[in-house]
């Protein structure tokens, strides 16, 4: 199995270098991507809730007006 790695310090014009990885490493990477996607979806669902409901469950406010009023 071949994957690509980004090497920002590379002096060559090609920034993506193929590297070999084991299926176990690929599975861990896929799990991390899946977990991040689920976390992002959960955060979007919580942010879509009304402010008072988010406050009830202890979610921090993201509204700048609310943050400025608390000072």
pTM score above 0.75? no
DSSP string, 4-65: EEE-TT--SS--EEEEE--HHHHHHHHHHHHHHHHHHHHHHHHHTS-HHHHHHHTPPP--HH
Other CB atoms within 10 A of residue 61 CB: 13
Structure tokens at 67: 């943050």
Q: Per residue of the chain (71 residues), what is the pLDDT tens digit?
A: 445 455 555 555 555 555 677 888 888 999 999 999 999 999 999 889 898 898 888 887 766 665 555 55
């Amino acid at each position: 199995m071949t994957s690509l790695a980004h090497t920002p310090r590379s002096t060559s014009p090609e920034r993506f270098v193929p590297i070999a990885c084991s299926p176990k490493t690929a599975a861990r990477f896929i799990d991390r991507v899946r977990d991040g996607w689920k976390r992002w979806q959960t955060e979007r669902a919580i942010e879509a809730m009304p402010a008072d409901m988010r406050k009830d469950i202890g979610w921090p406010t993201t509204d700048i007006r609310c943050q400025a009023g608390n000072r």
